[in-house]
Amino acid sequence: MLNNIGIPGILLIAVVVLVLFGRGKVSSLMGEVGKGITAFKKGVSDGKKEIETENLDEAKDVTPEADKDKS
For residue 43, tell me if it sits in a domain.
yes
For residue 3, tell me if it sits in a domain.
no
For residue 30, tell me if it sits in a domain.
yes
pLDDT tens digits in sequence order for the chain, 71 residues long: 567 788 889 899 989 988 888 888 888 888 999 999 999 999 999 999 988 888 776 666 677 777 766 65
For residue 46, tell me if it sits in a domain.
yes
Considering its fold, how many domains does the chain have in total? 1
Say whether pTM exceeds 0.85.
no
For residue 17, tell me if it sits in a domain.
no
Q: Which domain holds residue 48?
A: 22-57
Kindly give the interhelix angle for 23-57 and 6-21, rounded to the nearest 10 degrees.
100
For residue 1, tell me if it sits in a domain.
no
For residue 44, tell me if it sits in a domain.
yes
For residue 37, tell me if it sits in a domain.
yes
